[in-house]
Amino acid sequence: MVEVHTSAQGVKNSMLVCVTGAIGSGKTTAIKIIRQQGFQTFVMDDYIHKIYQKNQIGYKLIAKHFGKSYLTPIEVNRKALGQLVFSKPNALRKLDQLMIPLMRAQLQALLDQNNLCYVELGIYFLHESKFKKYFSKIIFIDAKTALKNTNLEKKMAHIEKFPTKIVGNSKLSIKTSKNNRLFVVENHKNLNYFKKHLINIL
């Protein structure tokens, strides 16, 4: 089972809050800050990593639909799969068709726990119609291009490891979104500035 970080506060609210943003915007930092405030958190990429292990459902689906060349003896070859889906749109669509239903099922399982939980889901705005019903609030982490580029250099390996993370600018989706539950947190300055503004909307 994928680790869900919980608090000792016993929060009774039954709702999910999505933490999303572009690659390198600061989603992982945001989740750490939220966890430090005593809230339950869940990282969807950790779930994907878990089901890509041998004999897990993700591993079996990749074997069936993409072939054994995208597997290692212990897990999905995320580097090879990532190279495929980022170069061939049809392959990416197929991967989404396989993984998104599993992600949706996991979100429903979190809802069924009847707790408040903050979920890091980087691809939310790329598939908003499939995910929006699960979330009561959306927190979008907005970083300047320079900051994102700096963080991106540090995270290149993770792009290969987790091909469900899409490289792109989610701001375009936000501008056209009619979602009035959206909160934008700027990650333009230092960590203390970011932390203060994030905590204000928790």
Angstrom distance (rounded) from CA 86 to CA 152: 16
Question: What pLDDT, in 10s, does the model give residues 16-69?
Answer: 999 999 888 999 999 999 999 999 999 999 999 999 999 999 999 999 999 999
Residue 72: how many CB atoms within 10 A of its CB? 14
What number is the average pLDDT over the span 3-15? 54
pTM of the model: 0.79
* Helix/strand/coil for 56: coil
Select the more confidently predicted residue: 125 or 102.
Answer: 102
Residue 22: the pLDDT is: 87
Tokens 């000792």, residue located: 8
| Banded pLDDT at 143 (limits 50, 70, 90) | confident
In the 3-class helix/strand/coil scheme, how is 133-158 assigned residue by residue?
A: HHCCEEEEEECCHHHHHHHHHHHHHH
According to DSSP H, which parts of 67-144 are helical? 78-87, 89-112, 128-131
Question: What pLDDT, in 10s, does the model give residues 84-118?
Answer: 999 999 999 999 999 999 999 999 999 999 899 99
